[in-house]
Amino acid sequence: MTNEVLMELVEISKRFPGVMAVDRVNIKICKGEVHAILGENGAGKSTLMNIMFGYYPQDGGKIFWKGNEIKFDNPLEAQEVGIGMVHQENSLLPDLDVQDNIFLGHFPINGLMINRNVEKTRTLELLNELYIGDLVKPDTIVHDLTMAQKQLVEIAKALSSNPQFIMFDEPTASLTSNETEILIKIIRNLKEKGVGIIYVTHRLNEIFGLADTVTILRDGKHIISGPISEFNNEKVIKYMVGRQLEEQVYGLERVREDRSNLQTVLKVENLTKKRYFNNVSFDLKRGEILGFAGLVGAGRSEVLEAIFGYEPADSGEIYVKGDKIKITHPMISTQANIGLIPEERKLKGLFLELSVKDNINVVVDCKSGMFINRKKRKENAEESVKKLEVKTSSIEQAVMNLSGGNQQKVILSRWLLASPEILLVDEPTHGIDVGAKAEIYKIIDKLTIDGISILLVSSELPELILLCDRIAIMYHGKMVGILNREEFSQERVMSYATGQLQRDC
Amino acid sequence: MSISNFDLSKEKNGRKRSNFFSRAFSMNEFGIFLALAVLCIALGTAKPTFFSFTNVMNVLQGITLVGIMAVGEAFVIIAGGIDLSVGSIMSLSGLMIAYLVHAGVDPTISLLITLAVGFLCGFFNAFLIVKWKLNPFITTLATMNIYQGFAYLLTGGMPVQINSYLNFIGHGNIYGVPVSVIIMFFIVLAGHILLTRTVFGKKVFAVGGNERAAKLSGIRVENAKFVVYSIVGVLCALAGVISTTNLGIADPTAGSSMNLNVIAAVVIGGASLAGGKGSVIGVLIGAAIMGVLRNGFVLLRFSIYIQMISLGVVIILAVLIDIVRNKGNIFVLIRDQIRRNQN
């Protein structure tokens, strides 16, 4: 890290109708500096980055690039001076291959034609730099990639124009620990080369040891900036949420007990789906939370979707409370009082343009007779919104206007109304801020006290360790171990998840 | 958490105070209803005969075919599909009933067979779309030709006369109100109730809103699609019967201009071609706007070509009105887009 300033923001403000998204923020990023920007959802991090990237014009304040005041009209101008950005939401085109996605907008050309050879070799170099060269080929079509691979291709895309300054917007949200390590290695390499880096994440433990400087935003306001050495976990969280988080996270109330004598509500035997998972067996007790750990692509989500009947398994048995059930469609599992909260909220969970009320009632609608009861639907929605503290202006509000955490609560409410006995929960806190996460933990905790059993897939080990009674670990489509609570440790789970340990289960 | 409760209670009080007008304004159909009203008042001022009973009935009778088919089309479009073959099914059914009655089949049985043919046409569309996973646009573009071709084949392209008690359907009236208009209002009412008050209606919105989420909510997406395409098939057959019995003659080209007019009525009525949005009341208003335009231009003795141009303009305006009416929401959308980006 040198003292040569790359990017400097002075009193930058941005107003959106009804909200001050960014309020007089000052930030300075030097060459070779990793600058972490932290804050809850809605704190203004993405807006700030989008201003630097030329996506939004600022309403007030000045931007200096290498000491000269600049104003970008669009992201292309920002890219031309050497600014790159890795977007949080996938901005890749699913039907194009990897190389075209990476070089879209700046294809290497040979006269009028795209120089395919250069494009391909450059793509290979980039993929190798990201250590995914043997998994992802330049001509792989993007929709065949896993979420994590897509994220890494997104990073390759940002690196392809050799930026001097690069912004990462929650790059690890869909990555597992292994891939996160790769990313951190990449960032260190970039730092060595003198690239200035902005790093936004919700996973606080990543920034210690990586970032040089920390800036914390809250409600669009600049709360504090300083060298990382002046911060620790608690301090960061305190500044971010403006209140102590611990009380919330550890406000969990359920009693840890030996559940092996309790009723088995779900028993899965030798569940197999070709190319995804093999001979997966486990059982789930009443009121238990069974976690599923593993790397992205280990087959955990696929197991949940197979149990639920969304993509049914090829073979194997599923017993619900002792009765063998053949689940070929989600309708059957919903009638067996199973619910699924899917990983990709917007893609698989929400009816974005429909109201909160319609989104909450969709499952109970299907279970009721021919006509809907409008009064009941309204009551359902109002009670759910109140119970889970969903922040929405009205139950008639389109669900797309809610924040991620509140959308997740809407999906939770949907299933809770159907009084499930088993909930399959896939990455419930993906892309959700610290405060909302804690609320989701509390809800999950509360559900099991009420006797609901939960299968929880999560890529965040602390989350699994906090919530689960047992953790099942999958590796390459196989179940390699089930740990009891007293055996929990991040290191042990990771050794199983990376295939170093294995036991019969 | 106290904040959210506070917001909720405020919202509740706010809603209690809302009166009829603000409720009406917040309805999705308000924009196009206003457009229809302005159009009617303008025409009524220019030509007072516009509001005469005979003329109003003329306008209504003029929109029955498009109106009835558009109710079915609305279900298909809200469920995220599209049916381009409606006019062809209408032509085929219209010929079928005349052909059967002409051949000496009992008129009531002919009617049932014709409705069944419409059902089968719709079912076949759904079969290709659901089971073979063909794109709905392409599928119904193809069956539009197939069904129209069958209509020509049936009679070698010749019109067929029909004369039986069935002619009452298209030609009769009760206290001066054409029977076909009564049928249309009945279909609109039934469609509205089916769409807004039944579980099936909610499923249609869910399927069009997000097919994967619908499946994950326990909805049989395929079944819902079969039902909507079959509904539109039966309604097209009904339109065919009305058209034939109204004229007393079955014309194989009767429906060929209807395919796109039906979709236009649904779109003017506020439905989104992306699915998940739309209403039956809107469809009726959409069809009415088209009918009033046609009628008004005749009354004012404007050229038919100007009428076509104005219909095109109306379609664009309808979409614009929808955007303007949602303007408040657009800002909300932008803000929440940002909030989503910040996630």
Instruction: Give tens-digit pLDDT for B128-172.
Output: 999 999 999 999 999 999 999 999 998 888 888 888 888 899 888
Residue A255 domain-assigned?
Answer: no
Q: Check residue B154 and give its pLDDT.
A: 87
Binding-face residues of A in 289-328 toward B, CB within 8 A: 308, 310
A353 touches chain B (CB under 8 A): yes
Residue A375 domain-assigned?
Answer: yes
The nearest CA of chain A is from the CA of B278 a distance in Å of: 11
Tokens of B303: 């050229």
Task: Give the total number of structural domains in chain A.
Answer: 3
Q: Which residues pair with A482 in a beta bridge?
A: A472
A16–B334 C-beta distance less than 8 A: yes
Residue A50 domain-assigned?
Answer: yes
Beta strand A221-227 with A213-218: parallel, antiparallel or unpaired? antiparallel
Question: Are residues A125 and A36 part of one domain?
Answer: no
pTM for this predicted structure: 0.75
Q: Which of A110, A137, A162 is the last residue of a domain?
A: A162
User: Do A35 and A167 touch, CB atoms closer than 8 A?
Assistant: no
Cα atoms found within 13 Å of the Cα of residue A27, Cβ hemisphere only: 30
Question: Are residues A286 and A171 part of one domain?
Answer: no
**What are the pLDDT digits (tens) for A192-218?**
989 999 998 877 778 888 999 999 998
Binding-face residues of A in 34-53 toward B, CB within 8 A: 41-47, 50
Q: Which of A140, A162, A184 is the last residue of a domain?
A: A162
Give the integer Cα–Cα distance in Å for A496 and A470: 14
Question: Are residues A102 and A48 part of one domain?
Answer: no
Domains of chain B: 31-342 (1.10.3470)
Give the pLDDT band (50/70/90) at residue A330.
very high
> Is the ipTM, as predicted for this complex, more than 0.85?
no
Task: Nearest by CB to A330, from B3, B206, B218: name it.
Answer: B218
Mutate to test the interface with B, among A375, A401, A408 (most CBs of B within 10 A): A401
User: Given a cut of 70, is residue A243 above it in pLDDT?
Assistant: no
Question: Are residues A468 and A435 part of one domain?
Answer: yes
Give the integer Cα–Cα distance in Å for B58 and A63: 66
Residue with token string 């796109």: B260
Residue A467 domain-assigned?
Answer: yes
A352–B206 C-beta distance less than 8 A: no
Tokens of B228: 């909507």
Question: Are residues A193 and A152 part of one domain?
Answer: no
Q: Check residue A178 and give its pLDDT.
A: 79
The nearest CA of chain B is from the CA of A41 a distance in Å of: 5
- For A336-350, B7-21, B183-197, which range has the lowest pLDDT when averaged over its residues? B7-21
A403–B343 C-beta distance less than 8 A: yes
Question: Are residues A309 and A181 part of one domain?
Answer: no
> Containing domain of residue A155, as a range?
94-162
Tokens of A389: 């503290």
Residue A504 domain-assigned?
Answer: no
- Tell me the average pLDDT across A282-308: 91
Binding-face residues of A in 136-195 toward B, CB within 8 A: 169-170
Rg (C-alpha) for chain A, rounded Å, is 24
**What are the pLDDT digits (tens) for A130-183?**
888 888 888 889 888 887 788 888 888 888 888 999 999 888 777 777 788 888
A223 touches chain B (CB under 8 A): no
- Tell me the average pLDDT across B43-63: 93
Give the pLDDT band (50/70/90) at residue A18.
low
Question: Are residues A105 and A78 part of one domain?
Answer: no
User: Given a cut of 70, is residue B331 above it in pLDDT?
Assistant: no
User: Given a cut of 60, is residue B342 above it in pLDDT?
Assistant: no
Residue type, B55: N
Question: Are residues A287 and A306 part of one domain?
Answer: yes
B1 touches chain A (CB under 8 A): yes
Question: Are residues A282 and A348 part of one domain?
Answer: yes
Question: Are residues A171 and A111 part of one domain?
Answer: no
Residue A365 domain-assigned?
Answer: yes
Residue type, A394: S
CATH code, A31: 3.40.50.300
* 3-state SS class at A147: helix
Residue A505 domain-assigned?
Answer: no
Residue A403 domain-assigned?
Answer: yes
Mutate to test the interface with B, among A347, A362, A399 (most CBs of B within 10 A): A362
B212–A347 C-beta distance less than 8 A: yes
Question: Are residues A145 and A172 part of one domain?
Answer: no
Q: Which residue of A has its CA nearest to B208?
A: A351
Question: Are residues A491 and A462 part of one domain?
Answer: yes
What is the distance between the terminal CA atoms of chain A, rounded to a whole angstrom? 49
Q: Which of A162, A178, A201 is the last residue of a domain?
A: A162
Tokens of B133: 């996973």
Burial of B22-51, coded b for 16+ CB within 10 Å and e otherwise, reads: eeeeeebbbbbbebbeebbeebeeebeebe
- Tell me the average pLDDT across A313-325: 94
